[in-house]
Amino acid sequence: MKKKILIITTGGTLACVSSENGLLPGLNSKDILSYISDITSLYEVDFYELFQLDSANIQPENWQAMAEAVYEKYKEYDGIVIFHGTDTMAYTSSVLSFMLLNIPIPVVITGSQLSITNPLADAVENCRCAIHMAGSGMPGVFLAFDRKIMLGTRASKMRTRSFHAFESINYPYVGEVDSRGLEIYKNIIPAPSGPCVLERRLEKKVFLIKLVPGFDGKIFQFLYEQGYRGLIIEAFGMGGIPTLSSEVLDELRLVIDKGMIVVVKSQCPYEGSKLSVYETGKAALKAGAFQGYDMSTEAIVTKVMWILGKHWERKKIEEMFYKNLAGEIKIPEKEME
């Protein structure tokens, strides 16, 4: 019997057509199927057209719709593929990993850098990789691109035009396509730890700041007054915050004392933060900030949204933030003691 695969379409470059205002998603499932019928013929494939969006327009409400669609359908299929635009794909793959914890089938997100109608496009190859991964039986949320499979919580878009647009941040690829076919490295894919439960609530009022020299911290209070409950700071190096004047730290401490959850991570995508090394990092920890360790920015932002959606007390929030839920974080053993 052929395995059953559901393909959920959400728009993106893969489905784009030309218009007088530029490229926009316009291809429906039948249009797309005509380009990948040689792949889909190996499986029993259904399409579910969820929406037609440029992924720059993806909002938390769209993540909720995607998560609900997967949760409602997953028992009927061996795997699910989501066609998605590349701009926010890594945010989507991360947040779905949290919203669909312990999903027992593969959920694979993919897209392309060129429309599937372009004869030079990467779209067909990415679809091929994603559909075969969806048929692999490996549980979890994944991102497939340029013949690489990444954990959903570790993927990040690093290039705007190249076909190798995504990288796996501080974690090896969990699968690759080569001359032997699709090679899956099962030993590094987190196994489900319980039943799958849909966790759809998200806190949208989460903000991301990247520090630059001259930053004075006054925006912290403004964000708090605007109702933001979570703040992620991309700090310097291993996680340094300016300390020559007390202004930044005083402002930071003030909003943390008022209940804002603040996470400090490195601006560098690779190798992670270690706030305990320098005075400028230790000061942030003393102020009450959490640190991002080796997590990607996309994983931190969406994990904070997901955690704050539960309205937990700070102690529980901290416990859940540092808990490795979907392969998104590795804390050095010495710091766990």
Which one of the listed residues 157, 204, 274, 282 is annotated catalytic?
157
Instruction: Map tokens 């690829």 to a residue.
Output: 173
Q: What are phi and psi of 260, to 5 degrees?
A: -75, 140
Rounded to 10°, the helix 89-99/297-308 angle is 40
Amino acid at 224: Y
Query: Would you say 99 and 65 are in contact if contact means Cβ atoms under 8 Å apart?
Result: no
Amino acid at 81: V
Which one of the listed residues 87, 205, 243, 322 is annotated catalytic?
87
* Residue 87 annotated among the catalytic residues of the structure: yes
Which one of the listed residues 13, 153, 297, 302 is annotated catalytic?
13
**Host H or E run for residue 10:** strand 4-11
* Residue 13 annotated among the catalytic residues of the structure: yes
**Rg of the chain over all Cα atoms, to the nearest angstrom:** 20
Interatomic CA distance for residues 306 and 286, integer angstroms: 25
* Residue 157 annotated among the catalytic residues of the structure: yes
Which one of the listed residues 9, 10, 40, 86 is annotated catalytic?
86
Of 137, 132, 135, the C-alpha closest to 103 is 137
* Residue 86 annotated among the catalytic residues of the structure: yes
* Length in residues, the chain: 337
What DSSP designation does 58 have?
-
Interatomic CA distance for residues 179 and 176, integer angstroms: 10
Which one of the listed residues 71, 278, 282, 322 is annotated catalytic?
278
Which residues are catalytically annotated? 13, 86-87, 157, 278
